[in-house]
Structure 1
């Protein structure tokens, strides 16, 4: 955006700020990009030095007519406990630096611990295993019914992914989806899930099952940010030959916060094509009522955290009632997630909620198990 010359000047000013914090016996070197290595003696003052280095960047950098606010993340490795060679110390300090980047508090540095390396290895293995899972199609799609609270009729199905890991067994999405989003593996993973769900819908329709039932598929903000996201899922849908009117795309509130304009534009394109759009886990993200009137929504899903303690918890009562009233005012369908008891169901009916999803009716099941369950019930 600003060019290499201006960027190099910023790096130079940062180096000068850092140099002013060091003693004559300390050593500093730029090792590439925006990374520096500092060598210093004495373990006891390292933490104070980190604080001093961070504070040196508190005042914005002035370059030409621009003002730059710069922050830093620091990883610390100590000799001999964290390594005796320069290579091992640098590697471990680098590992600690990435941990420091995750710290949400004002503390911008982290000391290396052996568990960091173990964690890094586990994450690296997860990444590799997930790539293999996508290539080998180790993913299983389960479906959980969405039920009308007043008629008990199935109005929809939510598609939920599971990973049949060859060693670890069946893995729930909480253990791999967030990492897939970090690495952007969610893009090929999401397309594979979308394709598998639509293929299952096609098989059902050929058997005269679930005709007209809408199937909901979760979509990540990382996918929506892709310029060709709509084109990619449309190519899959047209190839499988499923009507967009039968597909509901579930997004979370946090999706809207990264790029509101692009997010709204993309969802409007999808709605124009016939897809239905719902907000999943409503009330747990960056709740902003302004986006509700900007997005082409048709459903709000009340997060299970507001349902599990109903009807006893008065705070959850107030939140659930408010979401239902909001949905009704905006003429949106309101669905409660995680309904497990008759008392919860009675509360939701009393307050005008439209539908539910949860163990009270059925847990997530494979396509085959779902058909057998409905035959038995």
Structure 2
């Protein structure tokens, strides 16, 4: 499906915005120069930090690119109606304090302090929006909810196309009704945080696989779909496009590239046999996020309450100290289910390889063969 979005870049490949220092300007520029859509991640950055990265990216490429924003969170992510906790209610009394007590041993081990869980809930959202309206970029995407129609309309008037992540067909419909230009259909296979609009603890691990999700969303909305979740090969891009997507968003596939800002230990862990699987966990942030199963996930995941971003702030010094100590067992090793298929090649070359694989898969389909 041709759209204003996909007409921006030659190849239907979007580099996922990965917060935490992974999606650096060098990575986004390499993807843009190769004909894909590179993305910067504004999550966990200050508004000025975001602006400086945009300036740097513009100095590296003249191609279109995107910036991703985290939506502000309600006072506490809540459970679904009819559960033991009302929507947007706090976790059980003392749950955050109990988790902090459990993490005290980690702080002692890494010789650091736990972070302040009350370090902020909105991620500087309004200030970042002001910057993006004053200095428009080609594309802005949103995670963890749907912005208001006023915000989407203001970005459109500024010449910016908008995308919003959805993890269900119902969420995709909300995205369309709000007036976004496209929806990112994120399957449960995706690495990093699930972009659910409401954090429902009872639904942990019950997400929909990408191919099924794309098909459901295609039957629900008329706006273009960008498919995301576990995509590592061109044949998978062909599959999601056959299911109704206009483009594919890849994160883990680009995480391993030399241009990625990911820690070297994180890159190595993607294909290390020691990390046999991934799991959705609240251990590091309080929101479901898929990562490689390491010691921290095994020991703390079952006890982490639904409290984002409080737990993200609480564990930030631990994750930083573990990386400094060279200990991947204490790091958040975000990765999608296809992590073992990661390729250590330059980002631009990876785009070229993916395009060649996509064309080969399409030719096979046209000839009556199957996807390989």
TM-score bin (small chain): 0.3 to 0.5
TM-score normalised by length of structure 2: 0.39
Give the greater-gyration-radius structure (CA): 1
TM-score normalised by length of structure 1: 0.38
Question: Higher strand share goes to which structure?
Answer: 1
Question: Higher helix share goes to which structure?
Answer: 1
